[in-house]
Amino acid sequence: MRFTVVHKALRARLHLLGSAALVAAAAFASTTLAAQNFPSRPVNLVVPFNPGGATDVQMRALGTAAEKILKQPVVIINTPGVGGTLGPSNMARSAQPDGYTVAVVPASLFRLPHIQKVTYDPVRDFTYIIGLTKYAYGIVVPKDAPWKSVQNLIDEAKSREKPMTYATVGVGTSGHIVTERFARAAGIKLSAVPFKGGVEVIQATIGRHVDFMSDAGWGSAVDNEQLRLLAVAEDKRIALYPDVPTLKELGYDITANSVVGIAGPAGMDPAVVKILHDAFLEAARTPEFQRSLEVQGQPFAHMDSATYTRFAADQTASDKRFVEELGIKLE
């Protein structure tokens, strides 16, 4: 009698295990099939800046090239705000991890959690797909401003009773960090004036509503002689502007490692990640996208998914040190 009871219990347990295995196998087969058919509908690409800005123009060029590879439309969704973090953070919180909604990720995503309370974890809440480029930051003044060099700007700042003003897309962004580090190294006081996006930053600088700007996206305005580039926060001079020195050359050990890439929500299927990575990489190598970078003096800086994931973790840690060093807080 006892043997019969144990035998029945064992059979029941084996039946449950078998059912669980079947469910797991069915789920795996379903996921694999979904990846094989990906994409079967349009892919949304969230751009966290206003239409018409440098990043928007670049990502539209990328999307146009990528949709020919993916055989599906790539729909640009502009979601500006919070220093470029509103779009990707909303995506991470609300989008399904199926690859149909991904977002452009600026470097401010890794820094903002150390400055204010946010709704995301930059390490845990994203699937990093591909790194594409780096923003080129520098000290940029209106074309008719009297300052012809960085030293001229420093001398002006020291002579004023009130701090000089500079435009930025937000507290805690790369442009803000670069300029605050520069101000500390030069022994001057500056006042940041935040704007919603790069277009507004450039317009405010051209219109002399601020003394200078510290953000990226200045290339075309410099080429059109609306702005003057005094220095860049790069390891070496930018090829398109060989006469413009780096801040390091001028004695300020300041560079901006502001990588721009694309990420999806956490938990994406690696097979879908690879499809998107390969498509965006092929699209990024097209002349159209490369020209959109060159106009702004930005390099093509590819990172594969694994490298970009490691970069995100490392940058999040290093940004914490910079924020604590500068004592930056969101007022």
Q: What is the CATH number of the domain that holds 58?
A: 3.40.190.150
CA distance 323 to 235: 21
Given this model, what pLDDT does residue 3 score? 46
DSSP state of 299: P
Question: For the whole model, what pTM was predicted?
Answer: 0.79
Q: CATH no. for residue 175? A: 3.40.190.10
Residue 6 lies in a domain: no
Residue 247 lies in a domain: no
- Tens digit of pLDDT for each residue in 110-153? 989 998 899 999 999 999 999 999 988 989 999 999 999 999 99
Residue 87 lies in a domain: yes
What band does 217 get if pLDDT is binned at 50, 70 and 90?
confident
Token pair 């490692």 is found at 257
Asked if 151 and 131 sit in the same domain, the reply is no
- Pairing relation of β-strands 164-168 and 212-213? parallel
- Tens digit of pLDDT for each residue in 193-203? 998 788 899 99
Residue 49 lies in a domain: yes
Asked if 157 and 76 sit in the same domain, the reply is no
Q: One-letter amino acid identity for 60?
A: R
Q: Looking at the 3D structure of the chain, how many domains does it have? A: 2
Asked if 203 and 278 sit in the same domain, the reply is no
Asked if 84 and 54 sit in the same domain, the reply is yes
Q: Which domain, by its residues, includes 51? A: 42-135+258-326
Given this model, what pLDDT does residue 6 score? 47
